[in-house]
């Protein structure tokens, strides 16, 4: 099998799985317990927090563990609303956010909050000038993803952060679920960014684990109340094996990042150059630094994306429509709609997402299969 759906989820790294299994077998205690087994588990949690913080060059007190990207995004958005409602009820999100951000923000409109949506250009990148127009004295939160999950567009986080220097009390949240290890951390964890969301299963860690970066001095309200874990901010017994394994996944993922990205970019360049040779192909991703190196989104004229996905599956090649979380809703990608791609083209879109272990041979096999399938569909349509 050739797996090209790493933006949906990645395979757990063998070393990470080994850490998870050994920690599960050896660490019995609840980190909140006072006895030595509890202390042992608590020390492991603290060590994991410290390791992740070191890799991101932040303070360990700024790392909070979650169950993944959806929880992290919901916590920051709703937690900001709860903490800052007395100061304002205006929130800005981009038009291409994952539903874990957009749905969470839109739910707040039932409670009297107002959500403005910043548009993107035809390349899928947020219009900074429009964000500037939308900012108001009562804006409490701006939320923009680091890397778009459908076409791979890298968003102008630093430029938006520059705008927010004139709005020092407005929280700036970045969903970096697709960004960690794909672009330099400095492109989304800037000085003006207050909160960043991460999810372990996107970087070869265990599903059901994640973390957020939370800048010192910022305040949000907890969504989970109970035993007061995570400095009274996120109650619930910690997933110690998952967190320890995630810390190892972060370290492995960010080691030799530049070399891995270069390898991914070479494969992406090959795929894009190859697909360009077919006149019926429309490319929605580009091969330059405005796009992450691991995502190629394209469509084959008159062939629905889901049809192409299943056709490749018969050849044991796994690709996806534009987003795993919306693929079963049978609607065209929200990012492509925001990019003003006509519906007839948007419904053809499929996404290839590679990882550092993807080989050029696999990419070449993909193109052989693609050539066969496009010939088959051409004959059927003619």
Rounded CA separation 332/14 (Å): 35
- Interacting residues of 177 by C-beta distance below 8 A, sequence separation 6+: 69, 98, 145, 149, 197, 198, 199, 202
Rounded CA separation 347/311 (Å): 16
Strands 349-353 vs 63-66: parallel, antiparallel or unpaired: unpaired
Strands 349-353 vs 295-300: parallel, antiparallel or unpaired: antiparallel
Phi, psi of 187 (to 5 degrees): -80, -15
DSSP letters for 200-262: GGGGTS-TT-EEEEE-TT-----S--SS-HHHHTS-S---HHHHHHHHHHHHHHHTTHHHHHH
Number of residues that this document lists for the chain: 382
Is 297 assigned a catalytic role?
no
Catalytic residue among 325, 340, 344, 368: 325
Residue 267 structure tokens:
């494969």
Residue 120 structure tokens:
């993107």
CA R_g for the chain? 21
Task: Name the residues annotated as catalytic.
Answer: 325
């Amino acid at each position: 099998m050739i797996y090209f759906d790493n933006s949906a989820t990645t395979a757990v790294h063998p070393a990470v799985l080994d850490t998870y299994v050994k920690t599960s077998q050896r660490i019995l205690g609840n980190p909140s317990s006072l006895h030595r087994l509890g202390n042992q588990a608590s020390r492991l949690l603290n060590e994991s927090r410290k390791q992740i913080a070191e890799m991101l060059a932040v303070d360990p007190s700024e790392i909070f563990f979650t169950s993944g990207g959806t929880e992290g995004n919901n916590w920051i958005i709703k937690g900001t609303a709860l903490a800052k409602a007395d100061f304002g009820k205006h929130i800005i999100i981009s038009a291409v956010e994952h539903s874990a951000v957009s749905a969470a923000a839109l739910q707040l409109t039932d409670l009297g909050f107002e959500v403005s949506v910043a548009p993107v250009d035809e390349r899928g990148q947020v219009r900074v000038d429009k964000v500037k127009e939308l900012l108001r004295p009562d804006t409490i939160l701006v939320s923009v993803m680091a890397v778009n999950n459908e076409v791979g567009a890298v968003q102008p986080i630093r430029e938006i952060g520059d705008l927010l220097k004139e709005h020092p009390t407005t929280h700036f949240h970045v969903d970096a679920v697709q960004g960690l290890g794909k672009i330099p951390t400095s492109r989304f964890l800037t000085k003006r960014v207050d909160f960043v969301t991460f999810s372990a299963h996107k970087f070869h860690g265990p599903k059901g684990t994640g973390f957020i970066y939370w800048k010192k001095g910022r305040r949000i309200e907890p969504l989970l109340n109970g035993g007061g874990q995570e400095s009274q901010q996120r109650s619930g017994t910690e997933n110690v094996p998952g967190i320890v394994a995630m810390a190892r996944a972060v370290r492995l993922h960010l080691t030799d990042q530049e070399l891995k990205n270069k390898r991914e970019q070479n494969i992406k360049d090959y795929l894009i150059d190859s697909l360009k040779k077919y006149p019926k192909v429309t490319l929605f991703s580009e091969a330059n630094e405005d796009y992450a190196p691991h995502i190629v989104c394209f469509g084959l004229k008159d062939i629905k994306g889901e049809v192409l996905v299943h056709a490749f599956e018969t050849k044991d090649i796994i690709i996806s429509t534009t987003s795993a979380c919306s693929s079963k809703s049978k609607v065209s990608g929200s990012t492509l709609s925001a990019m003003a791609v006509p519906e007839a083209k948007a419904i053809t879109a499929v996404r290839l997402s590679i990882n550092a272990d993807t080989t050029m041979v696999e990419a070449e096999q993909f193109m052989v299969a693609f050539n066969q399938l496009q010939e088959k569909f051409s004959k059927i349509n003619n």
